[in-house]
Amino acid sequence: MSNIKITFPDGTAREFEQGITPYEIAKAISGRLAKEALVAEINGVRKELSTPIQSDSEVKIFTLQKEEGKDTYWHSSSHLMAHAVKELYPEAKFGVGPSIDNGFYYDIDINTNLTEEDLVKIEKKMQSIIDRNDSFERKELSKAQAIEFFSGDEYKAELIDAFDEENTVISTYGEGSFTDLCTGPHLPSTKYIKAFKLLSVSGSYWRGDENRARMQRIYGISFPKQKMLDEYIEFIEEAKKRDHRKLGKELDLFSIHEEAGAGLIYWHPKGARVRNEIENFWRNEHLKNGYDLLYSPHIGKSHLWETSGHLGHYKENMFAPMQIDEQDYYVKPMNCPFHIEVYKTKLRSYRDLPLRWAELGTVYRYEKSGVLHGLLRVRGFTQDDAHIFCSKEQIEDEIIEVIKFSNFMWKQFGFESLKYYVSTRPEKVSGNDELWEQATRSLEVALEKEGLEYEIDEGGGAFYGPKIDIKIKDALNREWQMSTIQFDFNLPERFDMKYIGEDGKEHRPYMVHRALLGSIERFMGVLIEHFGGAFPDWLAPLQVAVIPVSQNYFEYAQKIVSLLLDENIRVEFDKRNEKIGYKIRDWETQKTPYMLIIGEKEETNNTVSIRKHKHGDQGEMNLDEFISDLKNSVKNKINNN
């Protein structure tokens, strides 16, 4: 048998015997890699570790440390779970069972309303299947064979019917007595799944359509080691404690009232204080960075949305029109057409450019009720929005300035870990090839000039232009996609935007959509969870609680409160007729940064005794010194949690 050349991701190559498998290659490299290998990629196509390689090939081998490894591991685990469900509930039919960012799920049509106790039963059955060590085996069928094999299963029949050509090869995967429709690849066998936990069960709809069959969705997680599972469960428990919906209620920040409108946020006084600090900071920094502020209407005539293309491409995400003067008006899903209308109020010159216009503009988008999620997915939200209109020559410098501004903003809020992605041209686009190439390269060059590493998201751009996405990591190391810097070749053309160039001729301006925080609502949700509700001094809805040990010290306590208010410090005077220990515990629960305890000693010495959230007693201090320290913390936005 002849040898073949295998080339690895680092460019090195080795010769192996023809027919060698990725698992055997991993074993030849190191015993550890062979032990941890889960799936391979052969010439850009993901394949099982047992796949024979017959010719010269480029090979990548993935462990759980890579997304490809996680996807395979968790997708195989979802099949294992479905197998267990089928053995326990033979009547069960299955929708789809993908891997997700953290684990897997499977949608199931079953006669039983599954409970937490049922999940334990399913887990036990999963373990018994693992103990049998069944292999995942791929089988290829024609469309006709697949229809016959899954006869009587309307869900699989619908999926199979979506394949266009009759001669399409359709793959299934079986392990033991269970076979499912799947493109794969999978783990070699069930024994690779060492530690797992079914986390929850919830309602779902077939194909995500609330007008289709109602199903039940089981979520789960799995790992090759019990320690990894234990750490993940600990992470889940911490995430539950930090859930912004839970903390929003406990800290009295916001509420949502289904009877008054799902996905609409009611800001309570404490939440409004935090939001006000964020918005004031946002406005001041934009003015410092050369932006002008706009305010635009909440509704516009249908003609505006026809011109922008929203009625043609985005109507399903817009609320129904209202009739005013026998014309259709829509609440705005975006601010950009309004900013363009302002641009067009007069003829612009190259001397006017760049124009940087920002707005905290509230928009409304129709989201299905099933995807609404606290502050993170809503129907009405305030966009941290801006549009830059500039010339071709200015675009690179403008992008660099936006990147710098974005990085500054995130660091001020305590987020240090940022990742950058350049999303490139999809199949269907607006704008010619030259514009796309230049715009994409401008984004890349801007990141490179700032010394920032980035990844390419091939085809991830919108039809109207490429973009930079910035993801942040929170205190639990979770990634959130937040900032976006987006080229737009579409709207300047649709609205016939112009400026007079230095040559005296008309030119089309470049347009950049830019959001730094994303939306105030979603950002607040992320911020609450990042800080666990314990906001830094500058953002805390209440910075200081003044607590006299008895009514005898109310007069001195009131003097302290008045002095703090004069310094614009957010303070509350606790006059409750409760024991001092109860009050301290309560304010600690409310995550108030500082408590000032007032008693005989403090009044005599003209001082305050300070308790700091999570740090306890800090001793006595002169009030002026305390105020100076607090104001310094606020001014410098110190994250002192």
Distance, in Å, from the CA atom of 529 to the CA atom of 563, rounded to the nearest integer, reads 33
**6 pairs with which residues across the strands?**
14, 57
Query: Choosing from 118, 385, 474, 537, which is the catalytic residue?
Result: 385
Assess whether 207 carries a catalytic annotation.
no
Which conformational region is residue 290 in: left (phi greater than 0), alpha (psi within -120 to 50 degrees), or beta?
left
Distance, in Å, from the CA atom of 173 to the CA atom of 164, rounded to the nearest integer, reads 21
Backbone angles phi, psi at 17, to 5 degrees: -70, 140
Angle among Cα 344, 512, 459 to the nearest 5 degrees reads: 135
Assess whether 83 carries a catalytic annotation.
no
Distance, in Å, from the CA atom of 305 to the CA atom of 298, rounded to the nearest integer, reads 13
607 near 614, Cβ under 8 Å?
no
515 near 484, Cβ under 8 Å?
yes
> What are the counts of helices (DSSP H) followed by strands (DSSP E) for the chain?
20, 34
Assess whether 365 carries a catalytic annotation.
yes
Query: Choosing from 125, 217, 339, 513, which is the catalytic residue?
Result: 513
Assess whether 383 carries a catalytic annotation.
yes
Assess whether 513 carries a catalytic annotation.
yes
Query: Choosing from 273, 365, 379, 570, which is the catalytic residue?
Result: 365
Query: Choosing from 383, 486, 543, 590, which is the catalytic residue?
Result: 383
In residues, how long is the chain? 641
Assess whether 613 carries a catalytic annotation.
no
Angle among Cα 116, 119, 121 to the nearest 5 degrees reads: 120
Instruction: Give the list of residues 6+ apart from residue 125 with CB closer than 8 angstroms, or none.
Output: 84, 85, 87, 88
Which H or E run includes 300?
A: strand 299-301
Which H or E run includes 256?
A: strand 254-256
List, in sequence order, the alpha helices (H) in 520-578: 520-531, 554-566
Nearest Cα residue to 360 out of 385, 392, 327: 385
Q: Distances in Å between the alpha carbon of 320 and those of 366, 560, 593?
A: 9, 54, 45
Sign of CA dihedral 481, 485, 491, 493: negative
Query: Choosing from 75, 310, 379, 467, which is the catalytic residue?
Result: 467
What string of DSSP letters covers 390-419? E-GGGHHHHHHHHHHHHHHHHHHTT---EE
What's the farthest any 2 CA atoms get from each other in the chain? 97
Query: Choosing from 70, 156, 244, 336, which is the catalytic residue?
Result: 336
What string of DSSP letters covers 453-479? -EEEETT-SBTTB-EEEEEEE-TT--E
Query: Choosing from 70, 270, 310, 387, which is the catalytic residue?
Result: 387
Q: Which residues are catalytic?
A: 336, 365, 383, 385, 387, 467, 513
